[in-house]
Amino acid sequence: METFKTTTMFTIESNEIYGRYMVAAKYIKEGELILKETPAILGSTIEGFHLCFRCCKPLRTSVQVCKNCGIATLCSQDCQGINHPDSECTALKATGIKAVQLINSPQVIMPLRSLLMRNYNEDLWNQFLSMEAHLNTRKDTLIWNSHREYIEQPLRDLNLLTDQDLEQNVIQKICGVLDVNSFEVRAPDEQVSSSINLTSHPQECLRAVYVQASLMTHDCTGNTLLSVDDDFVMTVHASKPIPAGEIVFFNYGNCLKGTYERRQRLREGKYFDCVCRRCSDPSEMGTHLSSVKCKKCRNGLVIPTIPLSDVYKTSWTCQSCVTVYKGVLIKTTLDQLKEKIISRDPTSLSQGEQLLKNLETFLAPQHHLIIELKQNLIPLYDYNSFNEMAMKRKMEFCEDIIRVLKIVEPGISRLQGLALFQLQSTQINLANKQYQYKEIPASTYLETLLLAERNLTEAIKYLVYEPKNSPEGRLTKHALNDLKILKSTIKQMRCLCGEGKLTQDKDLLHKLTRKPTVPTTVL
């Protein structure tokens, strides 16, 4: 084992399994900052679309060209973005190409900007090239041939590649580094609300390479929280305590997907097979995110017999009656259900509810397809925010999602924070309506407010680590203000109810007030 770099927080080590990876150099407390980093390169997804070189805002209508180099596309000449420095501008101008040539081939822009680093920042270029690209695995595959046709050949036609570049597969190396190591980040104008649909990827996202952060290896239940602010600065905090000598992990995928889906994405995009504790457990740590209901006994859940295999080519077994099913049968059932999910009207709440009933007939209660559908239905209930049944349904879904997240994303969790924020706001709205129309007494109203306070406090405990200049950071500020208002309302209701009207045995008041859940620094 070789040690490359040491900081106060971590060392970089290497072995045959992980390659280079990050290890805690000391005991890292939950919530402690591990690193803060700006991207080495930032651009569009592999398909390529036009961005402002400076602020990286997607250019959907008009395009302006940098007056200095005459090549870089901008949202405006007055753009204050910092991602097109003078050094890049000079290097781009020296190529002698025309702006229209990049406009006609947007997919070459990010590889070209990466290539130009060698002309003005040799140290960063060398760090970039040292990152894993899996050239041997990718060679002569579909992705290799696609990059050769749509990126390497256009750059060759523009006379931007030397014979040595072609011989050493420099562009394939660059594309490999970008494909394997990039993090998905939001475009600047991507609007984010408090919806817990943040579990899915933004509709339009960018990709960014962070040299240090890319050294965190993968685990499906990681021990870090990654956040990116509006300026694309990444911060990494420990989501739970990390003992000295323990590997610093980050979950590369979506924690609410099933094992097959997670492992397939990692295999196709990162070129390795995950064998973590969660992937190795056929019940996925008791969540049963991939399990189906047994058709024979109707009570048991059917799980894969060999979870680290291609599960649809091996057998599945009912945990209750031990009936064995062929994996291909499970796949056929899931494919049929996925077809129904795809064909539904995403704006129709009634269709969504009917589909949910159908899924619940065949799948485990917390199957990832059910969880995903509930995520998508939650915003539709917001349109019926004055309907009592809609509010109760939304709270039920939020609680279902939170229950799963506490297992698959333990510790400090952005997703838990967002889900808890949604839950408490609906709890308060429903309680306000019921109390206003005298459907519940003051004591019950107070109990609900205290429960909402606990959920809001917990949400803030998770979201407080988000950068202030990010959508989640702005939501945290809003949540802190909501908490002040809620505490004031609770104080008034205590006075209205009177101490003698609430007993410790009957109500939540005394129990909840004995359990402060947020550090005083948050409040």
**DSSP track, 278-346:** HHH-TTTTTT-SS-EE-TTTSSSEEEESSTTS-GGGSEEEETTT--EEEHHHHHHHHHHHHHHHHHS-T
Q: What is the DSSP letter of 83?
A: S
Task: Out of 169, 186, 203, pick the residue that ends a domain.
Answer: 186
Could you tell me the residue range of the domain that residue 173 belongs to? 41-186
Strands (E) across 189-299 are located at: 205-209, 217-218, 224-228, 234-238, 249-250, 292-293
**pLDDT value for 202:** 44
Q: What is the DSSP letter of 201?
A: P
Is residue 50 situated within a structural domain?
A: yes
Among residues 249, 259, 348, the alpha carbon closest in space to that of 312 is found at 259
Question: Please, what sign has the CA dihedral across residues 75, 81, 83, 89?
Answer: positive
**pLDDT value for 146:** 95
Token pair of 19 as six digits: 């390659």
Task: For 148-194, write each residue's pLDDT tens digit.
Answer: 999 999 999 999 999 999 999 999 999 999 999 999 999 886 444 43
**pLDDT value for 498:** 80
Q: N- to C-terminal Cα distance for the chain?
A: 45
Task: Out of 132, 158, 186, pick the residue that ends a domain.
Answer: 186
Is residue 452 situated within a structural domain?
A: yes
Is residue 95 situated within a structural domain?
A: yes
Distance of CA 159 to the CA centre of its chain: 39
**pLDDT value for 110:** 95
**pLDDT value for 124:** 95
Distance of CA 91 to the CA centre of its chain: 35
Task: For 281-300, write each residue's pLDDT tens digit.
Answer: 999 999 999 999 999 998 89
Q: Are 52 and 63 in contact (CB under 8 A)?
A: no
Tell me which long-range contacts 11-20 makes (C-beta under 8 A, separation of at least 24): 12/215, 18/217, 18/247, 19/132, 20/132, 20/215
Q: State the pairing for strand pair 217-218/249-250.
A: parallel
Token pair of 329 as six digits: 């049968």
Among residues 404, 469, 518, 464, the alpha carbon closest in space to that of 31 is found at 464
Residue with tokens 């971590």: 10
Q: State the pairing for strand pair 33-37/10-15.
A: unpaired
How many domains, in total, are found in the chain?
2
Is residue 229 situated within a structural domain?
A: no
Q: What is the residue type of 379? A: P
Distances (CA, A) of 228 to 88, 101, 210, 315, 330: 23, 32, 11, 42, 39
Q: What is the DSSP letter of 431?
A: H
**pLDDT value for 5:** 45
Is residue 5 situated within a structural domain?
A: no
Is residue 287 situated within a structural domain?
A: no
Residue ranges of the chain whose pLDDT lies below 50: 1-6, 190-202, 500-523
Is residue 290 situated within a structural domain?
A: no
Distances (CA, A) of 110 to 123, 129, 135, 178: 19, 15, 19, 9
Please give the helix or strand (H or E) that residue 11 lies within, else none. Answer: strand 10-15
Distances (CA, A) of 413 to 192, 375, 419, 420, 512: 17, 17, 10, 11, 22
169: Cβ contacts below 8 Å, ≥ 6 apart: 135
Among residues 39, 405, 24, the alpha carbon closest in space to that of 237 is found at 24
441: Cβ contacts below 8 Å, ≥ 6 apart: none
Task: Out of 186, 218, 251, pick the residue that ends a domain.
Answer: 186
**pLDDT value for 127:** 94
Is residue 65 situated within a structural domain?
A: yes
Residue 148 three-state SS:
helix
**pLDDT value for 6:** 42
Among residues 31, 469, 464, 60, the alpha carbon closest in space to that of 232 is found at 469
- Cβ-based neighbour number of residue 314 at 10 Å: 15
**pLDDT value for 189:** 65
What global pTM score does this model have?
0.88
Q: How far apart are CA 146 and CA 172, in angstroms?
A: 10
Q: Are 412 and 239 in contact (CB under 8 A)?
A: yes
Strands (E) across 106-255 are located at: 183-186, 205-209, 217-218, 224-228, 234-238, 249-250
